[in-house]
Chains A and B, each alone.
Chain A
Amino acid sequence: MSGRWRAVVTSGLLLLPGTTLAHSPIEGLNNFYNGFLHPIFVPAHLLLLISAGLLVGQLGVRENRAALLAFVIAALAGLIVAWLEPGIGSETFILAAAAAIGLVVAASPRIGLLPGVVIAAVAGFALGADSPQESLAGRDKLIAFFGTGVAIYVLFLYPMAMADYCRKRTWQKVAVRVAGSWVAASALLVLALAFATAR
């Protein structure tokens, strides 16, 4: 093979590989993962998911299966609303809810079944409604919404399962309350910032 052919083949081979993205969650990912990563990349959503999950787990999953069901149905309803009315969600409301639920987790009062269901439903709906995929349409949007729904559910399950596991253990039970106070403190600070900026 002559030198010129070698150069042509090498150049051809160099052109073949696609772009390597070091951080592909946005550009290189398909719509499902884009939707899936939405609650992870929005820290306010993550705070609400953690606090709501901790609360239901702290109350006991076996006794509060209705709260889990309410969360899932409300999140689905919220996603449908986000599809139909993209601007309805509010990050400030999500932070306020995260702060309030975090305080409840930190105080660890005995609350009944109904308040638990209502809190879980409000959290689920708020998260779904604040997850519009405005830049997408049609099938792409549906797939992204599916990803977001799965992520909301999965990210809710982790803290819930952890808190449920810890509720009968002295030290771990305290750790759940401490985590609740951390969420509340973080959310309260950002709310203060939002209030100060709005003035």
Chain B
Amino acid sequence: MRQMCRYAVSIILITLSSAALAHEGSGIAGGFASGFMHPILGWDHVAAMVAVGLWGAFLGSPAIWILPVVFPLVMAFGGALGVMGVPMPAVETGIAASAVVLGVMVLFAVRPPIWVAAVIVGAFAVFHGHAHGTELPGAANAVAYSVGFVIGTGLLHLCGIAFGLLVKWPAGKAMVRAGGGLIALAGVGFLTGTL
């Protein structure tokens, strides 16, 4: 019985210990990792990026490839504003609103002209870029951080596009629209602070 107690205590102590990381977040690898994880660990970013991909897939060609090309470039512009310390009001609100608006677009299968879609997506990209850009000066390696977060953002778009390709089938279309609805709901949660 005493031995079992010892085992139990040992197991509990083992589970309590935190992971030892051999490669700490410094240098190129640290900069890349922190940049890569920045959009992925922020649920508001994830929701909006996936929604961009979903909407692009819903709109079909050429929107499916124009939006992922336009977004990083406009986001870089927003990031440059953030890096240079240009203040932008209500950045977090803008990011949350992007999830609501883009989610609603997917939910109701809105198909505006391509330039309107690009302007909507581009406008929100500025908010997302600004949020990333303000983190850049503190990054371990600025270039690696930028590369990491642009790739992270792009891969989130890709997730949305891959899921959005289900629109080829009627059931898939319903699922994609439901996904848009969920993203819009999450956006409302971000806006009201409940999420």
Interface residues of A (CB under 8 A from B): 22, 41, 43-44, 47, 95, 103, 106, 174, 177-178, 181-182, 184-193, 195-197, 199
Report whether B147 and A195 are in contact in the complex, using a CB–CB cutoff of 8 Å. no
Report whether A185 and B83 are in contact in the complex, using a CB–CB cutoff of 8 Å. no
Contact of B72 among A182, A193, A196, A197 (CB under 8 A): A182
Report whether A193 and B136 are in contact in the complex, using a CB–CB cutoff of 8 Å. yes
Report whether A189 and B69 are in contact in the complex, using a CB–CB cutoff of 8 Å. no
Contact of B79 among A47, A192, A199 (CB under 8 A): A192
Bound Cα distance from A47 to B136, whole angstroms:
18
Residues of B within 8 A of A (CB-CB), count: 28
Q: With A106-B69, A192-B133, A196-B84 in contact, is A186–B146 under 8 Å at CB? A: yes
List A contacts of B69 (CB < 8 A): 106, 174, 177-178, 181
24 A-B Cβ contacts within 8 A? A41-B28, A43-B143, A103-B73, A106-B73, A174-B69, A178-B68, A181-B68, A181-B69, A181-B72, A182-B72, A185-B72, A185-B146, A186-B76, A187-B143, A188-B73, A189-B79, A189-B80, A189-B142, A189-B150, A190-B143, A192-B76, A192-B133, A193-B137, A196-B137
Fill in one digit per residue for B135-154: 1 if any A CB lies within 8 Å of its CB, else 0. Answer: 01100011110110011001
Bound Cα distance from A118 to B147, whole angstroms:
26
Q: With A43-B28, A43-B147, A196-B84 in contact, is A189–B65 under 8 Å at CB? A: no
Contact of A185 among B73, B85, B136 (CB under 8 A): B73
Report the minimal beta-carbon distance from B77 to chain A, rounded to whole angstroms.
8
Contact of B75 among A103, A174, A185, A195 (CB under 8 A): A185
Report whether B143 and A192 are in contact in the complex, using a CB–CB cutoff of 8 Å. no
Q: With A185-B72, A189-B79 in contact, is A195–B65 under 8 Å at CB? A: no
Report whether B84 and A189 are in contact in the complex, using a CB–CB cutoff of 8 Å. no
Q: With A193-B137, A195-B84 in contact, is A184–B143 under 8 Å at CB? A: no
Chain A residue nearest to B139 in the complex (CB)? A193
